[in-house]
Amino acid sequence: MPDEVRSTSDVEEEVAHRFPPGFVWGAATAAFQIEGSTTVDGRSDSIWDEFCRRPGAVKAGDTGDPATDHYRQYERDVALMAELGLGAYRFSIAWPRVRPDGGAVNQRGLDFYERLVDRLLENNIAPWATFYHWDLPQALEERGGWTNRDTAYRYADYVDAVLRRLGDRVPVYTTFNEPWCSAFLGYASGIHAPGRTEPRAAVAAVHHLLLAHGLGMAAVRELALKADAGVTLNLFPVAAADPDSPADREVARLVDGMQNRIFLDPVLCGQYPPDMVEHLAPYGLVELIKEGDLDLISAPLDLLGVNYYRGHLVAAGEPRTGPTDWIGVDNVDFLSSGMPLTDSGWEVQPPGLVDVLVRLHEEYPPVALHITENGAAYRDVIDADGTINDLDRIAFLDAHLRAAHTAIEHGVDLRGYFYWSLLDNFEWAEGYAKRFGIVHVDYTTQLRTPKRSARWYSKVIADNGLPRAAG
C-alpha cells in the first residue's frame, strides 16, 4: 500500500514498539579508527601509532592510516548521516591533533573539529564529542602514561583547549570511552596500546583515568555551561555458571567488581567498592587515592553512556599464569552460553542488555542512560548488483533494540541509542579484519556503500519505533 494512502491504524500496526518522544537515534565512531591522516596538520603520534609498529601487535600489520580517510572525507560522511536520518553523531576528538605530544595547542587540529561540528549542525545532527577514545599522545606514555598522575592534569589542559574552541556548539560531551579497556587491556593484558603487562600499572591507570574524568567534568561545567556531560563505560552482566557453587560465585563477584563496579561505584556513589579495595590492596589502590579525588570523580553526571556487546558466564577453573585482564584472579574460566556468535566470536545476548540497564536503574542513583555503543561484526558479502544484504546485522539490531524497549518498559530512564559503528573501520588489534559498520567501506577506493542494515535502521529512526515481531 503506498505511504500516502495508509491509514493511521495501518501505521500503528506496523510500528508496534515506539520509543519515547525525543529519543536520540545516532551512530558512533572514534578518531583513530576512521580519520587517517596521522601525520597531517601537526598531529603527533598516539600510543596506537606506536603500537601498530610492533610486529604482531595488530592483525595483518594494519595501521590507523588511511583508515577510512574521514579527516579528508568528513563532508561526504556527514551527508551520509543526514541521508540516513541520524539525529546525533558520537565521535571522538584526537588528543594528538589538539595538543601534539601533550604540549602546546595546535589550532590546525582544532580547525578540523570545528569544521566537522559546523557541518553536523548545518545538517541538524547533534554532535556528541568524546574527549578520549584511547589515543594518548605517545610522548605522555613515555613519561608514564596513565600510570602517572600528572597525565590526568595534562588531560585537563587538553579538554580546556577543546572547550574554548567548541564549548558553545557541542551539546553533549563524554569524558572517556571505556576506561576499562585503557586500563586493563592497555596495562594488564597488553593486547591494546600501550601493550604493557604490569598489574600495578593497570590499577594506577584505573584511578588516574577516573581522576581525569573528574577534572574533565569540572572543565565542562566551567567552560560549556549549556552542555550536558558524562562518561561512557563498557558494562557486562556477569553470571556464575553454577549459582550453587561458592567458587563460581566468588569468581563472578571478582570479575563483576573489576569489569563494572570499579568504575560505576566511584563515579555514581563516590567510593570504590569495599571488596575491590581489599582485593586490589596488594596492587597499591589505596595509596593512589588523594584527598578530594573521590569528590571530583563523583561529580554529578547529566548522562551515563552504556556500551554493551555481550555478557560473561564464568566458572572457577584451574589456576593459570601469564598476563590477564582480571588482576588477582588466575582461575576464572569464561564459558559459552550456547548463543550464536558474531564474526568477532562474541555471543549475541540481547537479554543481557536488559539486565545491565535494569541493574543500573535499580542499584545506582538515578541518571539518564544512553546506549552509546552496540553493534556486531559480520562477514559482509557484496552481491553482483553492489548491494550488501547483511540480514544477520539487522537481526542483531532488531533484537537489541527490542531489549532496549523492554528496559524502558521496566522503568529505565533510557534516552538514546547509538549503533557501533557508522562505518567499517580500523578495529584496533583486529585491524581491518572485522566489519562493524552499517556503511561498507572499500579500503582501496574509500567508496562508501550503505548496507541493508543502514536502510533498516533509517526506517526505525523515521518511525521512532520497531515493527511487531514476526510470529
Domain definitions of the chain by residue range: 3-467
Q: Find the DSSP H helices in 46-94.
A: 47-52, 70-84
Q: For this structure, is 13 an active site residue?
A: no
Low-confidence ranges of the chain (pLDDT < 70): 1-13, 470-471
Cell 600528572, located at residue: 150
pTM listed for this prediction: 0.96
pLDDT for 12: 41
Tens digit of each residue's pLDDT (9 = 90 or more) over 283-323: 999 999 999 999 999 999 999 999 999 999 999 999 999 99
Which residue out of 35, 141, 373, 427 is catalytically annotated?
A: 373
Hey, which residues does 126 pair with through a beta bridge? 88
Report how far apart, in Å, the C-alpha atoms of 98 and of each of 49, 70, 424 are: 16, 17, 25
Residue 12, classed as helix, strand or coil, is: helix
pLDDT of residue 15: 81
pLDDT of residue 242: 98
Task: Check residue 470 and give its pLDDT.
Answer: 59
Residue 12, CA distances (Å) to 344, 465, 466 in order? 37, 10, 10
Q: Single out the catalytic residue among 35, 141, 178, 347.
A: 178
In terms of CATH, what superfamily is 3-467?
Answer: Glycosidases (3.20.20.80)
- pLDDT tens digits, one per residue of 404-439: 999 999 999 999 999 999 999 999 999 999 999 999
- The DSSP line for 134-176 is S--BHHHHTTTGGGSTHHHHHHHHHHHHHHHHHTTT-SEEEEE
Which pLDDT score is estimated for 467?
87
250 is catalytic: no
Say if residue 240 is exposed, middle or buried (CB neighbours under 10 Å; 0-12, 13-18, 19+).
buried
Confidence (pLDDT) at 10 = 37
Grid cell, residue 94, equals 584526537
Q: How many other CB atoms sit within 10 Å of the CB of residue 122? A: 10
**In whole angstroms, what is the distance from residue 352 CA to residue 318 CA?**
27
| Conformational region of residue 422, where left means phi above 0, alpha means psi within -120 to 50, and beta covers everything else | alpha
